[in-house]
Structure 1
């Protein structure tokens, strides 16, 4: 009996048409019921496994159009230049300027990462340390880990939801910009601004904003309440076109 031959190009053409496929779909395309046969052919094609959807989907590296973060999504399925969720999470943590809290990394990768981070720590591929009562995941390299912790502590002094790792500025530059903007506001505007930012920070926001802006916590709370009640002195805010009207100089006849 002559052996059956399976050609990897069959899988290539199928993936080029559909962009991604499950293992069952690839077995049907190849005409086999053996998982290992498909895996062998995929290995020849430089394939990628999705890091979302429990790694159920496959694509070709040549198909993926990775963004600046090395991620690509097709129909809600996510692929990474780094490969699996474990290797992707490891790469992101290792190269992050200030490490990641689990919630931050989950938002960036669009999937839950708690289990992956736990396994990486267990395997000593990354480290973790308590910061503000939450585990901060950092590089396994001691020197880089110290730098990440120092950078994170600098960020923690700036009470804002902005992730400075996504901006081209340092935490100190962000802090200076916020304080400069704040200095241009009048008394009511400062109070309302503090109240608004406190809303964004949630629990403990009043205290953080008070410390950052050198205010009393009651002032921040008052600003929040004014916004909720819409109790704002609009008369103190100059309307468009308001102010002293310009007068034209009379010319002698």
Structure 2
């Protein structure tokens, strides 16, 4: 096992080469098989465990560029400001303008959330309401919950009236691409361009519609747009 100073230098060198790593790589880097020693060294530098892949991947705290939902995804590996999947789902549901359905959360987080949602409901951390043949997961705070269900019912009512409501598949594509972008704020035109490049035709107006529906901040100023880099 390397001493504390050597371990710190070795970990920093490792994360300069790769933004995300696993326990086996850390074990070889620090020349130890002791999980306790590895996590003690990581804790000294401040780190995140992935909420996907059973928490088996790690990154240093300064590396992720979290989006508006507090999520960052690197090569299919998800990290959250909240740490665990359970804490992440709780935060997202509590702050969502119109709540979230099970399907929406599955696609956004890229993991199965059924058991997590059920656990949170049973523990009284979130509520669910049956709306249009699906459960809508909402806050336990009465005022916030009423606002969330009202917003969702308005969206469904607009859909029934034939107003331009996007297919759920389009909404999911926009949300996932926004997470991929890894920016705190991003211009709708960039999301539209990224999706079009992947063969998914979504207009800037449609992206703006999704951003408005889910309360996502956007970059609109030309200077901000020009300074935004694409992340692949």
TM over 0.5: yes
RMSD: 2.4
Aligned pairs, how many?
168
Q: Tell me, yes or no, if structure 1 residue 102 matches structure 2 residue 102.
A: yes
* Higher Cα Rg, which structure: 1
Residues 145 and 169 of structure 1: CA distance in aligned 2, closer, same or farther (over 3 Å) = closer
Match of 2:116 in 1: 116
Deviation at 1:165, TM superposition (A): 7.8
How far off is 1:31 after superposition? 1.3
Q: CA deviation at 1:126?
A: 1.4
The corresponding residue for 1:152 is 152
> In the alignment, is residue 5 of structure 1 matched against residue 13 of structure 2?
no
Q: Which residue of 2 aligns with 1:166?
A: 210
* Whole-Å separation in 2 of the counterparts to 1:169 and 1:106: 18
Task: Classify the secondary structure of the residue corresponding to 1:78.
Answer: strand
Answer with 65-74 or 42-51: which moved more: 65-74
| 1:28-75 deviation line (CA, Å, top 9, x unaligned) | 211111111111222221201111222110001211122343322222
| TM-score normalised to structure 2 length | 0.65
Query: 2:97–2:213: 8 Å Cα contact kept in structure 1?
Result: no
The verdict on how the C-alpha distance between 1:63 and 1:110 changes in structure 2, with shifts beyond 3 A counting, is same
Task: Describe the superposition over 1:93-124 as per-residue Cα deviations: whole angstroms up to 9, x where unpaired.
Answer: 00001111010112222222212212222222
In 2 relative to 1, CA 118–165 (structure 1 residues): closer, same or farther, beyond 3 Å? farther
Structure 1 residues 30 and 45, CA gap change in structure 2 (3 angstroms): same
With normalisation by structure 1, the TM-score equals 0.60
Q: Distance in 2 between matches of 1:101 and 1:140?
A: 15
Q: Unaligned regions of 5+ residues in structure 1, if any?
A: 171-253
Q: Secondary structure at the match of 1:158?
A: helix
